[in-house]
Structure 1
Amino acid sequence: MSDWNQFKGDPHRSGVRRDTAGPDRVTEAWTADLAGPPGSPVLDQDTVFVGTQRGDCYALERETGRRRWTVETTGEVKTAPVVGRDGLYLAVGDGTVRALDPGTGEQRWETELAGTLESPLALSDGLLYAGHAAGLSALEAETGTPVWTHETETAVAGAPAVDRAADRERRGWGADPDETEIDLLSLDDAEMDEGVVDQDRVYVGTAAGTVIALEADTGETLWNAPTSGAVVDGPTVADGRVYVADEDGTLVAFHADTGQSWFTYEIEDAFTSSPTVLPAADATFVGAADGYLHVTDTTFGRRKLRGWLFSKKGVALDGPVRSSPVVADDVLCIGDATGSLYGVDVAGDAEDCDLDWFVDLERGIAGTPALATDALFVGTDDGRLHRLEWESDRSTP
């Protein structure tokens, strides 16, 4: 099973793949015509799965782009599917979650939820998490049986992010922060529960500008905290923090245990992607409508790139950002509304972020790329899915 089985590759929404050499240059291997603009693709060992705004889900051979099967639904399937060991799971816009056989497309079960679905699913430890217009629901992945539902006042915005205690122990997450470095901007606004350090959690953002932390197995509220606007693409969990960007142009890093604000970073336009974080490089990347890939440090949320006289807000692109950033080893890939896809060098401390390569796909990028070890898959607004592959001069770590 590929590691890139859901939106941004994993339940944390890290958007990072380290088991490959970053591409120095890319070439187009194939293009597949679909029935409508695609969403974000996902991968298993030899298949790429992608949904479309017209309600179709496609299974294509990764190497050739040949169609294996297509399933039609009664609503949009514009968010990333999830592929697990036992099934392929779709969030359909009409408010249903469907489980399919990944090999044939045959339906295994269908569960109707309380509201329409416009957010990617999350899969972790046998549970599916579905954000919808009425809240967040957890389902058994094997049967589709609802486990719990947490109601929200407004629709869930973007993909849920799941953080298991076992993952934190392996990676050293959740340590007590240095209080002198915390911007306590939201301490008075965050509502917290005690004793959340050892719990499995799922984080979700809402259209009303709220981030909510829930106990992953029960849906019990652990904390909630405000943002300035509707959350974009959902939270990202990294290094003991929860990063969220919103449509009002505010990036916030919350302490994952408490909901306290670690830092905020504000721009004059809307953010249009979720953050991608490289803790070892002390770098956070997030796309915006102003046509920049914004780059901040992870300690204070300050601009990281330096100009001749002043710091730079980030890497200038040709148009508004249309995909969340993803990282293959030390190359960050991001697309914009003009159809440009970029490879940005984020090696070391990511202090330069020079442009490594550029590909013009002619139509606006649709969705976030999926990364394999030697290729990426990305859709465009003209209803096409592209495979771009590489042979790198870089060596894997």
Structure 2
Amino acid sequence: MRTILPPRLKIWIVLLIVAFGSSCSKDKSETVLPLANTIYAVNETGEVYAVDAENGLIKWVYQAKGYIDASPIVSKGVLYIGDTRGIFVAIDAVSGKEKWQVDLRGRDLSSAIVSDNIVYVTIGATCFALRCSDGSILWKFETTDSIYGGPAIAGEMVYFGDYGKHL
């Protein structure tokens, strides 16, 4: 006897096989509707997948230069992700084409967060603020210890913790 899986269950099986990773979070100011039918996932070998949430078909695959340990984030039609070689990229969320990349010269980029057209990401002992339109570095802040996890934003402040137990 053959078991027929419900369509949504099939999608999650596809994601588990091709890309164990996580769905992306999104900028709270972005409208959900344009990308609501797409699930974004990554795997540790550096592949980023856009999967149609209705039928489970893969829309596009982007191959990063290094491994990926962080979750992607989508804001205003752009997916942001970094790899373990320190390369941070912006990818068009619809086409999968790279818009820009910046080498942040380190290892193990965190998951990013986006606010007011600025993407914040940590790597090693540094927190970066990058312009969403072109990836240019607006500012960076260096700590004495490696930063643990990605940044958070509340109001006008950017928060992150380091291994020295500082916030």
2:29 aligned with 1:29: no
Alignment root-mean-square deviation, CA? 1.7
Distance in 2 of aligned mates of 1:150 and 1:127: 15
Contact 2:24 2:41 in 1 (8 A): yes
Match of 1:3 in 2: none
| Secondary structure class of the residue paired with 1:120 | coil
| Alignment counterpart, residue 106 of structure 1, candidates 93, 97, 101 | 97
How has the CA–CA distance of structure 1 residues 63 and 115 changed in structure 2, closer, same or farther, with 3 Å as cutoff? Answer: same
Report the equivalent of 1:73.
64
Residue identity in the other structure for 1:29: L
Q: Work out whether 1:140 is the aligned partner of 2:122.
A: no
> Residue 89 of structure 1 contacts residue 100 of structure 1 at CA under 8 Å; is this kept in 2?
yes
TM-score of the aligned structures, taking structure 1 as reference length: 0.36
Contact 1:135 1:154 in 2 (8 A): no
Do structure 1's residue 96 and structure 2's residue 76 form an aligned pair? no
Q: Structure 1: how far apart are the matches of 2:99 and 2:157?
A: 28
| Cα separation, 2, equivalents of 1:163 and 1:39 | 26
Greater fraction helix: 2
The secondary structure found in structure 1 opposite 2:150 is coil
Shift of 1:28: 6.0
Give the whole-Å Cα distance in 1 for the aligned partners of 2:21 and 2:166: 25
Deviations 1:145-175 (A, max 9, x none): 10000011222211211112xxxxxxxxxxx
Q: 1:207 to 1:40 in 2, by over 3 A?
A: farther
What does residue 76 of structure 2 align with? 85
Runs of 4+ in 1 over 6 A off after TM superposition: none
Q: Which residue of 2 aligns with 1:128?
A: 119
Residue 202 (structure 1) aligns with:
158
Task: Please give the TM-score of this superposition, normalised by the length of structure 2.
Answer: 0.82
Q: How many positions carry a matched residue from both structures? A: 148
Asked if 1 retains the 8 angstrom alpha-carbon contact of 2:100 and 2:135, the reply is: yes
Change in Cα spacing, 1:146 to 1:118, as seen in structure 2 (3 Å) is: closer
Partner of 1:39: 21
CA contact (8 A) 1:40 1:78 kept: no
Same amino acid, percent of matched pairs: 26
Call closer, same or farther: CA 1:78–1:63 in 2, change over 3 Å: farther
For 1:230-280, what per-residue CA distance to the aligned partner results, in whole angstroms no more than 9, with x for missing partners?
xxxxxxxxxxxxxxxxxxxxxxxxxxxxxxxxxxxxxxxxxxxxxxxxxxx
Alignment partners' CA distance in 2, 1:86 and 1:146: 21
* Distance (whole Å) between structure 1 residues aligned to residue 164 and residue 22 of structure 2: 24
One-letter code aligned to 2:45: R
Larger radius of gyration: 1
Contact 1:46 1:61 in 2 (8 A): yes
Q: How does 1:170-209 map to 2 (within 5 A)?
A: 200-209=156-165
Q: What runs of 5+ residues in structure 2 fail to find an aligned partner?
A: 1-6, 26-34
* Equivalent-residue separation in structure 2 for 1:152 and 1:78 (angstroms): 22
Which letter does structure 1 place at the counterpart of 2:148? A
